[in-house]
Amino acid sequence: YLDSIVFQILRDVTVRTANLRAGTIDLAYMVAQKDLFMLERDRNLQVDKRITTEFYKAFMNKGREPLNNTALRQALSYAVDREAILKGVFLGQGEVAHGPLPSWHWAYDSQLAQEHGYSRDLDKARAKLKEAGYPNGLKLEGITPNEDPWRQLGEVVKAQLAEIGVELHAPLVDRAETRVFFRQGKGDFY
């Protein structure tokens, strides 16, 4: 019999991992990838790894210029190297998403993912940028949540977009501010 269950919101993944290792919490969902190998070696812990339906995404504000231009959104999508992000930010844990469903899900359609998913192709990205009317690139404004792994994701995506001449200014902000930003339709990129 169980007297109670206490749920704690520990937003900082480092704090979450430290509490888990210290035994002050019994379960943690989503730890930092960099801590995963250490946790797997800890004899007092059991790590359950599996690909979930959770995925990381970028939001482009297509309700205003310049991202109301389909070719521009396609250029940005071709510029992002999802494999490099999986390896570098997530240390190979997970899989590249080609939509909202993971490959193990019963409704996943691999043909649809291949036909409509984006893989990095800088030549296509530059061609789409030119088609969109920005052959010399452009500047976009956005925000990045000030939490791991979003901080790392933001830096990697900024660097990848810069390779096609797109300068993304996306300062780090509190998570609550990201929700307001998105709902109010401010800026270009989240």
Residue 82 CA to residue 87 CA, distance in Å, equals 9
Highest mean pLDDT among 22-31, 37-46, 65-74, 84-93: 65-74
Q: What is the pLDDT of residue 42?
A: 92
CA separation for the pair 135, 165 (Å, rounded): 9
Give the integer Cα–Cα distance in Å for 120 and 82: 7
The values of phi and psi at residue 158, to 5°, are -60, -45
Give the pLDDT mean for 79-104.
Answer: 89
Tell me, what's the pLDDT at 49? 83
- The amino acid at residue 95 is E
Confidence of residue 56 (pLDDT cuts 50, 70, 90): confident
Res. 171 pLDDT band, cuts 50 70 90: very high
The pTM score is 0.82
pLDDT band at 132 (very low <50, low <70, confident <90, very high): very high
Mean pLDDT across the chain = 90
- For 93: left if phi > 0, alpha if psi spans -120 to 50, otherwise beta; the answer is beta
- 59 vs 134 pLDDT, higher one: 134
CA distance 90 to 36: 10
Using only C-alpha atoms, the chain has a radius of gyration, in whole angstroms, of: 19
